[in-house]
Structure 1
Amino acid sequence: MTFRLFALASAAFLALPLPLFAQDAPAVAAQAEAIVPQVRTADMVGTFGGVRVPYRVTMGETIIESDEGRQEAVIVTTSYVRTPRDASRPVFFIYNGGPGSGSVWLQMGAFGPVRVAIPSDARDDGAPPYPIVDNPDSLLDVADLVFIDPPGTGFSYVTPGTDTADYYGLREDARAVAEVIRRWINDNGRWNSPKYLGGESYGTTRTAMVVDELEGSTYNDVGLNGLILISTILDFAAREPTPGNEMAYITLLPSQAAAAYYHGLVQAPSVEAIVEEARQFAIGPYAHALLQGQNLPADERASVRAELARLTGLSERFLDNAELRVTDDRFYKELLRDRGLTIGRLDARYTGRDYDNAGESVDNDPSFYGIDAGYTAAINTWTRERLGFRTDREYQSIGSVGPWNWSLGGRGRAAYLNVAPLIGTAMRGNSALRTFVGQGYYDFATPFFGAEYSLTRVGIPQDRVEFHYYESGHMMYIRDEDRAKLSADLRAFIRNH
């Protein structure tokens, strides 16, 4: 892969007439200090989806410049392209979320050609060494893969003297990612290849923004075949337990029922059965009760409280004290309090122990500290030692990218932030665009019922949206069975282009 920006700049410079050359001599001297993009390549072979695939790994830096030619951001991409290159193959552009999260999770856990092998059964990953093994569940048999680390994540960064506000925000971040995608397509001759775009967590928010940049542009329009949303968060208002916002409790209830089922506090034939009961109760009697506020009749309150206790495993006394509204933070602490355990936010299968058992909120998330060390070790080993990437920068698995501009227009976070309509707009404007939604039942960071709520709203063509569910949490690929299922589900989705 070549990055043409500097070659083009050099060609333009050589074409300048002599007087202009002399006039710009100081600027040319300053440009000698310019960042020269690093590119590392390696040729490898692996077996993915049962198919032996030769491929080239290219880890390189793309430089984003201002209109005045100042280098403002360095964005690292890691691409895996089958050799010899075949322009008819699909390309999948992938990133993680945060905002501030590097692509380590999806690259070293789900879709890259190698992965870190941490415990599949919700146990702590312990201490190194962590096995880095071949990943037969990689999608390289059906698509070329391009992992993108937006500014402030991974090894990517905003250059000194650049205003981070130009890159840290909903629209700002999306513009940078869209530019990197356009440049990669152009440099690799892939304009007419089928294209897929997607990510995890905030990466699903980013997908809505980036598709708006790519397909909503009046110039250089990039057509897409599919959007891939993993652990979806699009409607932020429906997720916020602000006093008076009842939707946060309604969309969370099925996840609470799933967690209670997993830990043996609720009886049901399957997790699918209990969450379906919880769905129907949430949008029926529970929503009806919450929306009445203090006008809720006593007998209806008692009936709802009893059913809520059955579905969540919480005591009626606790539910009564909580006014039938249990925040996720309280739930993590309360569900297994009698066992002296807390449950995970990213994955409720995980359990941990706090300093004491008296509080109403947890000390930490056992489903994050149970996996983070293994992933950090894996990405640094792979990029620095196997691919030879040279940098003094630390890899930002979860970086600091604040303050983040949460507004779709102007500064500040909108009172009601919902980017799902952008997906609807893109799908209505592109009759072949399909959307894949993958959700873990035990994910409290981005509850599956919230994804269903946001993507079944008016304006989103339902015949081109497909939901897939996994018996794990936010990063469903941690569980071996779900990684294989996610891979098979996505392989079928991509082949259907």
Structure 2
Amino acid sequence: MFSTHLKAVALSLAVVIAPSALAEVDQHNAAAHGRQIDIDSKVITEHKARINGERISYSAETGTQPVWNENGDAVATLHYTYYKRGGVDDDTKRPLLISFNGGPGSASVWMHLAYTGPKVLKIDDEGYPVQPYGVKENPYSVLDVADILYVNPVNTGYSRVLAGADGKLPSRDQQKDMFFGVNADIKYLAEWVNTFVSRHNRWRSPKFLIGESYGTTRVAGLALALQNSQWMYLNGVVLVSPTEIGIKREGPVEAANRLPYFAATAWYHKALDAELQALDLDELLPQVEDFTVNELIPAIAKGGFIGAEEKQRIVAQMARYAGVSPTYVENNNLDIPTSSFWKELLRSQGKTVGRLDSRYLGIDKRNAGDRPDYWAELTSWLHSFTPAINYYLREELNYKTDVKYNMFGSVHPWDRSNNNTGENLRLAMAQNPYLNVLVQAGYFDGATNYFDAKYTMWQLDPSGKMKERLSFKGYRSGHMMYLRRADLESSNNDLRDFIINALPAEGEAAKY
């Protein structure tokens, strides 16, 4: 397979590199007749695009780079795509944006082909699939201000665990210890990023991490791991649709924080009363947030000992904001499960709403029940993303392999213990006065809701000493807010501004 790959690349005038030190492993793979990815390879193609109103040239490098253990043995290989703007004489001032998606177990395809990259899916303006599948130019990509690296962790995309010298894969328990857990993931990725930065001579460049969903746990932890273990200091971390990053949101806070998301979703589907529905979302949500923090959290904290009059007042207001009946709220003891809400909101219309993006509608076998049969948004996304990434890598970036591209890979059971990534990010910020954080979230995301994201940002630095370096941006879409054309533009513009503003002025020292 390896010689076939070389032949194909040579014919296309691309570049492939495969160090001879890995030949023995490749020979074993060939002898075993396995379907294998090249362990250390790259293909470079040249492109042009109009981005942010400017015509630019860029190269796209896609390939694999090994993960080495402490003995220097290749134990896995990670597939990546690296975009570099052409005509840049001084990389020392050129930012590098390193991008991770989440899951855990999800490939980097989502932000790669729908958010920051130079090409995006062919979808309609609201994010729904259209045929023929494929990609088109992204006029809002941040490639004009930063080079971009998309990384697929182990078992996602084309990234894979490698057999040892004995020809056998590590056991599942060994793989878990090596790759599949909060801290194992951060440790090996920090080493991998170090190697990539060294190979591509980017040590002097300003560096940014961006992660989506579980990727926010990943980049929050990487900020300190890169700083303390690799001595690599960052200028910015971007948390897109963040998880809790180890910052607890339990009990009354967890239950109450859902209400602003419920209100946003009900508003979108025109399920509110006439007075609330007439408000713009920017007028409605501050009201709901104020009620959530100042009334709902204290009310839920009182549990079964809340006064009858107060309970009825809270029930009525919750029902009004969430677009559901007071009986439904009361039957849930003021604690409405999101899965139940997705089924309840439009039950009378025979529709369900999506989890990751509640703009999407589904239809179930029965109107009865307390959760949808399927996630309408996820099936829609896989509808358009899967053919696009397979086409794009093979036919436009000329990376050809028989290995399956894993949209979602086998990484479970994932070790979630000792998740201190939020505290790690706070400590990295404290140690590095250059480090800034941007939080981006969609109002209609029911999996990692926007108000939880705000709450996490508020709790990240309880002292308030670094709040000027923390910022939040919300969008009128869901988990992948960039799928909506208007938010693709605004989110990239916000990211572009963040990158530019996080660069220190000439001669500005990193000190307090």
Tell me, yes or no, whether TM beats 0.5. yes
SS at match of 1:137: coil
Aligned-residue RMSD, C-alpha = 2.1
| Residue equivalent to 2:506 | none
| Residue equivalent to 2:149 | 146
Tell me if structure 1 keeps the 8 A contact 2:16–2:43.
Answer: no
Matches within 5 A, 1:161-240: 161-162=169-170, 163-165=174-176, 166-217=178-229, 220-235=230-245, 238=248
Tell me if structure 2 keeps the 8 A contact 1:122–1:350.
Answer: no
Q: How far did 1:71 drift?
A: 2.1
C-alpha distance in structure 2 between counterparts of 1:289 and 1:30, whole Å: 62
Structure 1 residues 30 and 156, CA gap change in structure 2 (3 angstroms): closer
Structure 1 residues 456 and 237, CA gap change in structure 2 (3 angstroms): closer
> Where do 5+ consecutive residues of structure 1 fail to align?
11-27, 409-416
| Residue equivalent to 1:51 | 54
SS at match of 2:144: coil
Post-superposition Cα deviations, 1:67-86, rounded to whole Å, max 9, x if no partner, equal: 33432111011000012454
Instruction: Select 1:386's aligned residue among 396, 400, 403.
Output: 396
Structure 1 residues 373 and 82, CA gap change in structure 2 (3 angstroms): same
| Residue equivalent to 1:316 | 326
> Where do 5+ consecutive residues of structure 2 fail to align?
1-13, 30-37, 164-168, 504-512
C-alpha distance in structure 2 between counterparts of 1:3 and 1:250, whole Å: 54
| Residue equivalent to 2:423 | 421
Tell me if structure 1 keeps the 8 A contact 2:438–2:471.
Answer: yes
- The aligned amino acid for 1:38 is S
C-alpha distance in structure 2 between counterparts of 1:292 and 1:208, whole Å: 34
Tell me if structure 2 keeps the 8 A contact 1:234–1:419.
Answer: no
Tell me if structure 2 keeps the 8 A contact 1:44–1:54.
Answer: yes
Structure 1 residues 36 and 231, CA gap change in structure 2 (3 angstroms): closer
Identical columns (%): 33
SS at match of 1:216: helix
SS at match of 1:93: strand
Q: How far did 1:176 drift?
A: 2.1
C-alpha distance in structure 1 between counterparts of 2:293 and 2:245, whole Å: 17
- The aligned amino acid for 2:232 is V
Tell me if structure 2 keeps the 8 A contact 1:48–1:136.
Answer: yes
Post-superposition Cα deviations, 1:245-276, rounded to whole Å, max 9, x if no partner, equal: 22221221110011111111222421122221
Q: Does 1:252 align with 2:297?
A: no
Q: How far did 1:237 drift?
A: 7.0
C-alpha distance in structure 2 between counterparts of 1:447 and 1:393, whole Å: 35
| Residue equivalent to 1:444 | 446
C-alpha distance in structure 2 between counterparts of 1:381 and 1:5, whole Å: 24
Structure 1 residues 236 and 258, CA gap change in structure 2 (3 angstroms): farther
SS at match of 2:98: strand
C-alpha distance in structure 2 between counterparts of 1:427 and 1:29, whole Å: 44
* Structure 1 length-normalised TM: 0.89
Tell me if structure 1 keeps the 8 A contact 2:17–2:41.
Answer: no
Structure 1 residues 102 and 119, CA gap change in structure 2 (3 angstroms): same
Instruction: Select 1:326's aligned residue among 312, 332, 336.
Output: 336
Post-superposition Cα deviations, 1:200-258, rounded to whole Å, max 9, x if no partner, equal: 111111111111210122xx300100001111113467567xxxx22221221110011
Q: How far did 1:294 drift?
A: 1.1
C-alpha distance in structure 2 between counterparts of 1:305 and 1:102, whole Å: 42
Q: How far did 1:400 drift?
A: 2.2
Q: How far did 1:36 drift?
A: 4.5
Once the two structures are overlaid, the 10-residue window that deviates more, 99-108 or 170-179, is 170-179
Post-superposition Cα deviations, 1:170-210, rounded to whole Å, max 9, x if no partner, equal: 11111222122111111111111111101111111111111
Structure 1 residues 29 and 442, CA gap change in structure 2 (3 angstroms): closer
C-alpha distance in structure 1 between counterparts of 2:216 and 2:231, whole Å: 20
Tell me if structure 2 keeps the 8 A contact 1:259–1:349.
Answer: yes
| Residue equivalent to 2:75 | 72
Tell me if structure 2 keeps the 8 A contact 1:122–1:367.
Answer: no
Deviating runs (4+, > 3 A) in structure 1? Answer: 1-7, 28-36, 235-240
Structure 1 residues 433 and 4, CA gap change in structure 2 (3 angstroms): farther
SS at match of 2:261: helix
* Structure 2 length-normalised TM: 0.86
| Residue equivalent to 1:453 | 455
SS at match of 1:43: strand
SS at match of 2:257: helix
Tell me if structure 2 keeps the 8 A contact 1:238–1:251.
Answer: no
| Residue equivalent to 1:412 | none
Q: Does 1:82 align with 2:85?
A: yes
Once the two structures are overlaid, the 10-residue window that deviates more, 327-336 or 152-161, is 152-161
